[in-house]
A and B are shown apart, each in its own frame.
Chain A
């Protein structure tokens, strides 16, 4: 891996850095990222699914030349899976060896088997005491999927950048990792967590930025088709849907249409590929052929104007 790049020194540098790695960020997000890097505070990103929250962590790791340590949250996530676990088989062997060797000094045995070499690092501990000595990018993904006890545990990690292992004491990061937390808001995260972080709501991109993203990420999609795709999805989001398509769905759809060798939108193609864009049957029903035809007409009109 390349040696870590220095943190960007201005917001413009952040925009340029992300742009070099094909992430088209808006100014507010870039400012939040800049502040998070500068102030060494965790960045809490909340927003609908598929708006590029996880992607920013990946791109940051790549752009800054640091390892990405990812902790995917789920209900019941505990310390053993998130922070550390003792290597029990090795500990047992150690005990048996000590016994076989006739060494029955209990205190020394207890001290020996709870040594760092028997410790299995899980993502959080790995991020705080990286093996290569370079503070990584720590991504705590979909925090809303876990439960309150784990949130409470995170408070110490986020505020002090340290974890406490009863047998070893507190382990503190020499250099705090670049920490990104994401949430899809399937429930509210506790204020105590948010207070320790910089907060940024990741919304859907506007047409101009979405077009820039499609051009960057799907270069094989024809320019005119890209314009139509973006104009169409922007209109779709204005509809009353259960789940509006995110930027991830737009990119998938652009790829799908390119794969099908389409050069322009038509109602039949939309009906055939609606499942790429919309993930609720109710929403797909709402996108009837007439509605699709109307949206395509509007999208085309806009495409010719621009």
Chain B
């Protein structure tokens, strides 16, 4: 393979001895920073290892160089495509790269040259390679940090309160980053398994005996075990019909973060039919994961048949997914195209098969919200919690609300999401008028 001239003068046969101080070292380090910006978990230690690896393989062959960097910088199969693309883009003519990326960004005008394959470059990689500035040349160790770091605290606060539906493209991008950092700490449940513990309540005879054989004397100190606690499985049913479109797209980023944060999370989308996207969301890279979801779902932004979809869930999935005390998050505005037909029945069945049923409704943000639509009226009696989910603040509050123990008093926990929060989101405070 012929080597090409590039920013790191690949193929120039540079002596390894000259590496540490030379221009190549700076470029390798910058490349590592680009990868970090694109989401790969690489740090200074990786940069040092990358330099060592470069010194070891030399620069005579481009494929060796690529393999060496890949061996050092990639630790998961998921990350490999991102690395390959970043490598191809970075280690070539910098002006070409610049034009290519500039033509992709909606805010920057391209110079007329058509982009080669813009769709294949993940948005995050483009962002990491090209910080959102007027002069986007990745030279001189510019920090490729994105919007998040650039936002002041007050800007972030404002973003937290803003409805997903009214956000601009830039704000959505910033919100997605904040969503990716959210976690969902469900209260833990005691399992039947135990572990050694000084404060446990069950005597660990085996450990006690082991101990007794080593000690002389009439008394053997008792050893104890305590129960292991773990979070219950989480099943998310998310409405992706036309009225939920904007929210659903944002929530998918949140669901991706939750799915990759812990085990036993299942996500199903529904509009006119039900799609299980758990396996698609499992991909570590959020861009790839969402692209796979989009390919798998046929009924984006269409109509809503909540009753039919929940009934299908009950029949096809509930016995497989709700077996071990699962918590169900139902994300929907409750606006059913079929006027709530069969919904009451399906919700009752769902309620009875899970440990806790939480309904997240973006419409709940309106002060004047009333449960007029038949769909909402049919669903409300069967949920344990009814919470708003229209902005970042309400999602953050959600994690607090779920940490509280479930109360099986129907409709009594409306808007409890902000309990203890200094900035309660817009919600109904008084008892539900529809009871």
Residues of A within 8 A of B (CB): 74-76, 78, 80, 85-86, 88, 91-92, 95, 99, 104, 106, 109-110, 113, 144, 147, 149, 185-188, 240, 242, 282
Interface string of B315-357 (1 = CB under 8 A from A): 1000111011000000000000000000001000100000000
Contacts of B315 in A (CB 8 A): 240, 242
B314 at the interface (CB under 8 A from A): yes
CB pair A186 B349 closer than 8 Å: no
Partner pick for A187 among B192, B193, B320, B349, CB 8 A cutoff: B320
Partner pick for A88 among B205, B320, B321, CB 8 A cutoff: B205
Interface centre among B193, B315, B321 (most CB of A within 10 A): B193
CB pair B314 A242 closer than 8 Å: yes
Minimum CB–CB distance from B319 to chain A (whole Å) comes to 6
Contacts of B319 in A (CB 8 A): 185-186
B216 at the interface (CB under 8 A from A): yes
CB pair A187 B216 closer than 8 Å: no
B294 at the interface (CB under 8 A from A): no
| Residue on B nearest A186 in the bound complex, by CB | B323
Complex alpha-carbon distance, A185 and B317, angstroms: 10
Number of interface residues of B (CB under 8 A): 20
| Residue on A nearest B319 in the bound complex, by CB | A186
Minimum CB–CB distance from A88 to chain B (whole Å) comes to 4
Partner pick for B209 among A78, A91, A149, CB 8 A cutoff: A91
Contacts of A186 in B (CB 8 A): 319-320, 323
B3 at the interface (CB under 8 A from A): no
| Residue on A nearest B318 in the bound complex, by CB | A242
Chain B at the A interface: SS class: helix
Contacts A75-B324, A76-B193 given; does A95 touch B213 at CB 8 Å:
yes
Contacts of B193 in A (CB 8 A): 76, 78, 147, 149
Partner pick for A109 among B213, B314, B323, B345, CB 8 A cutoff: B213
A-B contact count (CB 8 A): 52
Contacts A186-B319, A187-B320, A282-B349 given; does A92 touch B192 at CB 8 Å:
no
Partner pick for B323 among A74, A88, A187, CB 8 A cutoff: A187
Contacts of B420 in A (CB 8 A): none
| Residue on B nearest A113 in the bound complex, by CB | B213
Interface residues of B in 190-240 (CB under 8 A from A): 191-193, 205-206, 209, 212-214, 216, 218
Partner pick for A75 among B192, B216, B321, CB 8 A cutoff: B192
CB pair B324 A147 closer than 8 Å: yes
Minimum CB–CB distance from B66 to chain A (whole Å) comes to 32
Minimum CB–CB distance from A14 to chain B (whole Å) comes to 31
CB pair B209 A113 closer than 8 Å: yes
CB pair A86 B191 closer than 8 Å: no
Complex alpha-carbon distance, A217 and B419, angstroms: 61
Minimum CB–CB distance from A227 to chain B (whole Å) comes to 30
Contacts of B321 in A (CB 8 A): 187
The 10 sampled A-B contact pairs (Cβ below 8 Å) are: A74-B192, A78-B193, A88-B205, A92-B209, A99-B216, A106-B216, A144-B323, A147-B191, A149-B193, A282-B349
| Residue on B nearest A185 in the bound complex, by CB | B320
Contacts A186-B319, A188-B320 given; does A110 touch B349 at CB 8 Å:
no
| Residue on A nearest B216 in the bound complex, by CB | A104
Contacts of B216 in A (CB 8 A): 99, 104, 106
Which are the 7 A-B pairs with shortest beta-carbon distances?
A: A76-B192, A186-B323, A110-B213, A88-B205, A187-B323, A76-B193, A91-B209
Minimum CB–CB distance from A49 to chain B (whole Å) comes to 10
Interface residues of B in 281-333 (CB under 8 A from A): 314-315, 319-321, 323-324
